[in-house]
Amino acid sequence: MTFDWSAIGAFLPMFWKGVLVTLQALALGSLIAFALGLVWALAQRSSLKVVRWPVTVVTEFVRNTPLLVQLFFLFYVMPEWGLTLSALATGVIGLGLHYSTYTAEVYRAGIDGVPAGQWEAAVALSLSRRRTWTAVILPQAIRRVVPALGNYVIAMLKDSPMLFAIGVLEMLGEARQFSSQTFQTIEPYTLVGVAFIAIAYPASLLLRALERRLVR
């Protein structure tokens, strides 16, 4: 077996399309995961059982079922109920929803890590509940959990190839399509593997630097 560099050149246009789709899914999925995770975390701290229990059941169900099964359900079952989305939109929602259940636990740990004295000081200053959360608790909690949230972004990147199962042509999907057309497998898959490392490793270094900065 020899490595054919001309195949890399032929694959590059498809590869860059796959990179763009991967980054789109990652960015939008991360936004959903971060925003929805915070909603789950706050809802689980509600004093109302009618709010707390359903959210707990939903998050536990999503967290304990495979992402691939959830993608199939959203893409193939939901249209039977009248909700039809594109493959990319389904993949973004699936990634965001799945990882929101993990970020919810990260937020919960960050909130629990805020010293009790901060709550007592907010009460002593007669701050409203909303003001307490937005001005005192959440800024401190989120600062503590930024590195952990970043780790889930990297995990989402590594799970993005699952989107090919519902027809999203991200990096791996483009590689599989190219190899099926040309019967050349080594070159496209090698390039995709290198691309994942080239994206994930610098991101991990950035997270370590950010963590050290936040500690200081």
Instruction: Supply 158's token pair.
Output: 């590594």
Residue 94 pLDDT exceeds 70: yes
Q: Is 85 left (phi over 0), alpha (psi -120 to 50) or beta?
A: beta
Per-residue confidence (pLDDT) for residue 215, from 0 to 100: 64
Q: What is the DSSP string of 112-141?
A: HTS-HHHHHHHHHTT--HHHIIIIIIHHHH
Residue 196, C-beta contacts closer than 8 angstroms, at least 6 positions apart: 157, 158, 171
- Show the tokens assigned to 77: 């079952």
What mean pLDDT comes out for the span 143-163?
Answer: 90
| pLDDT tier for residue 1 given thresholds of 50, 70 and 90 | low
d(CA 200, CA 16): 17
Give CA–CA dist 73/26, Å, rounded: 20
pLDDT single digits (tens) 161-194: 999 999 999 999 999 999 999 888 899 999 999 9
pLDDT in tens, 32-68: 999 999 999 999 988 888 989 999 999 999 999 999 9
Residue written as token pair 């694959």: 11
**Strand, helix or coil for residue 3:** coil
140-146 CB contacts, 8 Å cutoff, 24+ apart:
140/110, 140/114, 141/107, 141/110, 141/111, 141/113, 141/114, 142/107, 142/110, 143/214, 144/110, 144/113, 144/114, 144/214, 145/106, 145/107, 145/109, 145/110, 146/210, 146/211, 146/214
99-149 pLDDT, tens digit each: 999 999 999 988 888 888 888 888 888 788 888 888 888 888 888 888 888
Task: Write down the CATH number for the domain with range 20-171.
Answer: 1.10.3720.10
- Mean of the pLDDT values across residues 203-215? 78
Evaluate whether 166 touches 71 at the Cβ level (below 8 Å): yes
SS3 47: coil
Predicted confidence at residue 211, as pLDDT, reads: 73
Q: What is the DSSP letter of 22?
A: H
Residue 83: is its pLDDT beyond 90?
Answer: no
pLDDT for 116: 83
CB 89 within 8 A of CB 25: no
